[in-house]
Structure 1
Amino acid sequence: MNFKGLFFLCIVILLGFSLKAQENVEPVFPKMGKNDTIRVASTNDNGIMIPWMQLNDVSIFAARIWKSPAEQAAYNRLRYNVLKVMPYALFAKRRYEQLEQDLIVNTEKRKQKELVKACDKEIKEMFNREIKELTIAQGQILTKLIDREVGRTTYDIVKQTKGGFAAFSYQIIARVVGHNLKSTYDANQDRDIESIIRTSGFYQ
């Protein structure tokens, strides 16, 4: 064995002893006060236990400066429309998640068709009762928000539950009245919508 090999062997042996010695060292915990009753996680930093806890994300938004009254008015209209349709997007998310769970539990084709039909009926009833009164702008925002919440476009949802022909037919009708069921959501491109959602308390 040459000198270099012997040198590295000595280092490995010393490191092994060092690591073994560290394993036998009792960790040092911080002293607890009389009011310290909350259990938290801790990290061993060279034998010293450092307590820590994960905090919720905090979004900080600066006061917006408007270039003109018209720009502020446009933002106010957008805010009104987002707040108007966001509950429908959240409903679609919850209903679609429930449908997916039901389809996983019930593997029988006949039962799955019944579940899809019930979901479709429930959504149609809501459409006839409330959503049909939305403006074109509100409908366009809703299709984006469904993609944001569900992770799939309205077109994809219809295609999965009703089939490709139904999705194609619905898309033709939607395009006639100024909608696009294939609209997707981009948090950067739709940053005003994202800001409105995050500052409106929907996820508190």
Structure 2
Amino acid sequence: MKYYRFFALMSVMFIAQQAFAQEAEQKAIWPVLGKNDTIRVAATNDNGYMIPWIALQEVIITGTRIWKSPQEQAAYNRLRYNVLKVMPYALYAKKRYEQLERDLAITVDKKEQRKLVKACDDEIKKMFNTEIKELTITQGQILTKLIDREVGATTYDIVKQTKGKFAAFSYQLIARVVGHNLKATYNPQEDRDIESIIRSSGYYQ
């Protein structure tokens, strides 16, 4: 008998809920469509009024920069040139490092993992010997920051993780001699000009 009452109560609640939902749906006021309103869009019920809406892509609005002097504008133009020069290398480093992490994640054999790390290291060294070595000191400094921006880890941390502490320490010593710092990090606030250049460059459209 108790079970019968329980099921009867549940049935009444279900029917009431369905009736309430139908009543709410009937009361919804939809906008009047014109003859050219043929695109299906989403709608949200706002106190009985169905408000159509459509998601828009992010729009970045930037103001026209006013330069304090021709020298300041020239410095910005040089920075822009250097950022766009090294940005492809930072994106390559991100792609290659992410690929290495995926390969290591599915490989349990230590010997095979060392092979993967060596292959990645050889590939980066090859690119360094053919292209990156031609970068200026300023471009190299920007590149280390952009690697931190894209990968989420400093160049020093990447070397330490893949080659070990001693290799990272050795590379850092050499880098410091030529004016680089593998521990350099990226800060969007401090490096706001670089961030602005990257955002307006079209890399993330």
Counterpart in 2 of 1:101? 102
1:30 deviates by 4.3
Q: Tell me the distance in 1 between the aligned counterparts of 2:40 and 2:99.
A: 35
What is the match of residue 198 of structure 2?
Answer: 197
Q: Offset at 1:22?
A: 5.5
Note the residue ranges of structure 2 that are not aligned, 5 or more in a row.
1-15
Separation of aligned partners in 2, 1:123 and 1:76 = 29
Q: How far apart are the structure 1 equivalents of 2:35 and 2:100?
A: 50
CA distance in 1, matches of 2:156, 2:129: 19
Q: Which residue of 2 aligns with 1:21?
A: 20
TM-score for both structures, normalised by structure 1 = 0.83
Gap runs ≥5 in structure 1: 1-16
- Percent identity at matched positions? 73
Structure 2 CA distance, aligned partners of 1:113 and 1:39? Answer: 54
Equivalents in 1 of 2:50, 2:108: separation in Å? 50
CA distance in 1, matches of 2:82, 2:66: 21
Would you identify which runs of 4 or more consecutive aligned residues in structure 1 move more than 4 Å? 27-39
Amino acid at match of 1:116: V
**Superposition deviation, residue 165 in structure 1:** 1.1
- 1:85 & 1:40 partners in 2: Cα distance? 42
Counterpart position of 1:134: 135
SS state of the match for residue 61, structure 2? coil
Measured after TM superposition, the shift of residue 59 of structure 1 is 1.1
In the TM superposition, what is the alpha-carbon distance from 1:58 to its structure 2 partner? 1.1
How many aligned residue pairs are there? 188
Alpha-carbon RMSD across the aligned residues, in angstroms, is 2.3
**Structure 1, residues 98-126: CA drift from partner, whole Å, max 9, x if none?**
11111112222222111111111111110
Q: d(CA) in 2 for partners of 1:34 and 1:113?
A: 66
Give how far 1:139 is off: 0.2
Instruction: Write the letter of the residue equivalent to 1:25.
Output: A
